[in-house]
Amino acid sequence: MNGRRSNVGLALIAIACLLFFAIPLICLAAFSVTSGDGLTIAAYSGIFSNPQFWSSTGLSLLLAALTTVLSLALMVPTVLWIHLRAPRYRGLVEGITLLVFAIPPITLVIGASGLLLGFAPAMLGTPLILVPFYIVLSFAFTYRALDTGVQSVSLRTLIDAAQSLGAGWFLTARRVTLPALRTSILGAAFLTITVVLGEYVLASLFLYQTLPVFMAEIGASQAQGSAALALLTVLATWLLLVVVSVITRRFGGNPAMAKG
């Protein structure tokens, strides 16, 4: 009897969560296709025919790709070094990754702009200036995803076993370490991409039209267009999450899969 009550309670919670997310999306979809003359897809056709949509989407995807690659290239060795060589610095690194949330974006922009003006002034005239900021913004999410992945596997045991069989550091990283962390790396990449695709403040302060900036601009004059674009963004994010989930289940975190 208690088991049935527990199952009913879990089902009610699942239904409540589903309705919590589904109802706003349904209302958003209904608003985006409703006009005084009935149903219409003019909002969607207007978005896809707008060249600024494609340019802003392309810029956001480029920034997301660069940020993800550079962030992982920086954080994967850092997390491995902390767990394998310097565990006493773990608390310090966690604090550093959270420090960005205590700094106002305008302060971050002014301070970094002054620094880059003296060392790399050419970066101030290109959207690539946003990449370092996005890397810093994603640190908290990237670090925790990787940190959780490292703690979930016996990484030290796997590395010692590989090296006892004669594998060097490069071969151990390629055949053991990275395959064991594949799930957490994919999760960190997904979180980084969502941070970049949803960031508005820094892009607007630097006067670059990324996808969130374009969404805000179109929302000021076309409410239905903004609703349609918001719905498309949510669906695209969910699709990306499904792709990451499928890849994660397909490969898992088993190092033996790397042999395939």
Count up the domains in the chain and report the number.
Answer: 1
Asked if the structure places residue 228 within a domain, the reply is yes
Instruction: Answer whether residue 2 is part of any domain.
Output: no
Strand segments (E) across 58-157:
none
Task: Confirm whether 13 is domain-assigned.
Answer: no
What CATH number should be reported for the domain holding residue 206?
Answer: 1.10.3720.10
1 inside domain: no
- Is residue 148, in this structure, part of any structural domain at all? yes
C-alpha angle 219-238-204 in degrees, rounded to nearest 5: 35
* 219-225, Cβ contacts within 8 angstroms, sequence gap of 24 or more: 222/43, 222/46, 223/31, 224/31, 224/32, 224/34, 224/35, 224/42, 224/43, 225/43, 225/46, 225/47
In a domain, 10, yes or no: no
> What local confidence, expressed as pLDDT, does residue 69 receive?
92
Report the SS3 class of residue 181: coil
- Residue 43's Cβ-side half-sphere holds a number of Cα atoms within 13 Å equal to 25
Question: Is there a contact between 135 and 71 (Cβ–Cβ < 8 Å)?
Answer: yes
pLDDT, tens only, 180-213? 788 888 888 888 998 898 888 888 888 889 988 9
Residue 170 maps to a domain: yes
What pLDDT was estimated at residue 186? 86
Q: Which residues of the chain have pLDDT under 70?
A: 1-5, 36, 118-120, 122, 167, 248, 250-260
Contact 252/183 with Cβ under 8 angstroms? Answer: yes
Domain presence at residue 22:
no
What pLDDT was estimated at residue 215? 86
Q: Which domain holds residue 156?
A: 51-259
Provide the pLDDT for residue 70: 93
